[in-house]
Amino acid sequence: MRNSEFITGKVPITKEEVRAISINKLDLINAKRFLDIGAGTGTISVEAAYHYPNLEVTSIEFKSEAIDLINKNIDKFKLKNVEVKKGYAPIDLDGGFDAIFIGGSGENLEEIINWSKSLLNIGGKLVANFIIVDSFNKTLRLLRESGFLNIDVCVLNVSKLESLGSGEYFKPLNPIYIISCERGGN
């Protein structure tokens, strides 16, 4: 889905190229339940719900402005399979998720990693995106220490063609660190 298809405000969105890779790494084809932590405008939740209509999507976000945008995007795409929960993760949820996306974590990253592991089914996928190198490094260490398996890391650098005077140039977007892994049997 293109960025322009979403209703946006001042809340940052996960850009379409990053969404494409992150959703692919979540491996949602046979998933039943998906959790989006720090959902922002809801672009990951909405795109996943749109492409996988049998998927039960839960979005967690604590900013009222962002929740309003998530709900507007859910309405725009007429989605019935997304539940939005206001809160700051971790919150009280039943487990049994097949995939979890971490788009925002605030200051309690370790708590969120441990909580995510407790909610994930064995073999469930976890994908996390970061623009801050320190948060990326901390998450990678925590995932390794927590026994997550098949940890894969990539950095996505995207540039978009923009006008500049009478010519054009590629304006770079922030590099995004993408971690994907799965829950082991421990």
Q: What is the pLDDT of residues 97-143, one digit of tens each?
A: 999 999 876 678 899 999 999 999 999 999 999 999 999 999 999 99
Looking at residue 4, its pLDDT comes to: 86
Q: What is the pTM of this model?
A: 0.93
36 sits in which H/E element: strand 33-37
Sequence-ordered list of residues with C-beta below 8 angstroms from that of 69, at least 6 positions apart, any chain = 7, 8, 9, 11, 40, 41, 42
CA distance 181 to 96: 17
Q: Are 2 and 16 in contact (CB under 8 A)?
A: yes
What the block records as the tokens of 59 is 């979005």
**Domain of 45: which CATH number?**
3.40.50.150
Looking at residue 106, its pLDDT comes to: 66
Three-state DSSP class for residue 101: strand
- What residues does 60 pair with on adjacent strands? 37, 85
Domains contained in the chain, number: 1
Residues of the chain with pLDDT under 50: none
Instruction: Please give the residue range of the domain that contains residue 72.
Output: 3-182
Looking at residue 162, its pLDDT comes to: 94
Looking at residue 12, its pLDDT comes to: 79
